[in-house]
Amino acid sequence: MKFGARLETIAKWVPQNKKIADIGTDHAYLPVFLVRNGVIVKAIAGDIALGPCQAAVKTITAAGLKESIEVRQGNGLSIVQSEDAVEVIVIAGMGATTMIEIIATEQKTAKLAERIILQPMNGAAQLRKWANRAGWKIVGEDLVLEGGLLYEIIVLEPGAEESYTKAIYEIGPRLLEQRHPLLSIHFERIIANYHKLLQAMNASAKARKSLKYKKIATLLVEVEVLKNEYNRS
């Protein structure tokens, strides 16, 4: 069974011997990887849809881990009860808006966990900003390349921290602090995406005069300034 660099990097942020809930588990590859490698002993694998739950059961059965990993069908964190004593929550492969909705809807359950590990498919800046306002601190961040795509991983724990500039929310405060080896690629891809977006909007005079255009152009400049400051430091 091949797990890939993305899941292996997410797994790196799961502390030893913690009970996890993998929300949106799909095939339950992550909990299987964690149990097989002796990182954890127990896990809950949850998904809102029946198909992924059935796929998860198949994966877990094939791995001989039915006693260690329980599959539950349900919406987000509603599958987790206080008596489950879940210590780490993982939500990977969804958009930031969906992740925020999952955590905010079951905030009490979320705050019972020691850590939440997120791997958004988009909207990482939005996720960081929301976490800051909702009483979560960013304790770790990571980047991983797989199949030509660059994935961001954001690790949250309950607590307060300072707010950041829009550019830092865009790039990631912990990535900047640790001078992540993939940070240059991260900068270039974000800058290229905003250039592409502005170029597309330039085709319309109305779009060029819009507040959205102005905000994107301003953010682009701020990210480029941050990149230059980072390179000089």
Residues 6 or more apart whose CB falls under 8 angstroms from that of 204 comprise: none
**Residue 16 pLDDT more than 80?**
yes
**Residue 26 pLDDT more than 90?**
no
**pLDDT (tens digit, 9 = 90+) per residue, 36-58?**
999 999 999 999 999 999 999 99
The whole-angstrom separation of Cα 72 and Cα 56 is 10
pLDDT band at 3 (very low <50, low <70, confident <90, very high): confident
Residues 6 or more apart whose CB falls under 8 angstroms from that of 62 comprise: 1
- What's the whole-number mean pLDDT along residues 191-200? 96
| Contact call for residues 110 and 116 (beta carbons, < 8 A) | yes
The whole-angstrom separation of Cα 115 and Cα 43 is 14
Q: At what angle do helices 29-36 and 4-12 cross, to 10 degrees?
A: 60
**pLDDT (tens digit, 9 = 90+) per residue, 64-91?**
999 999 999 999 999 999 999 999 999 9
Predicted structure pTM score: 0.95
CA-to-CA dists, residue 117 to 40, 86, 153, 176, 232, angstroms: 15, 13, 7, 19, 31
Paired with 156 in beta bridges are 116, 138
**Which amino acid type is present at position 184?**
S
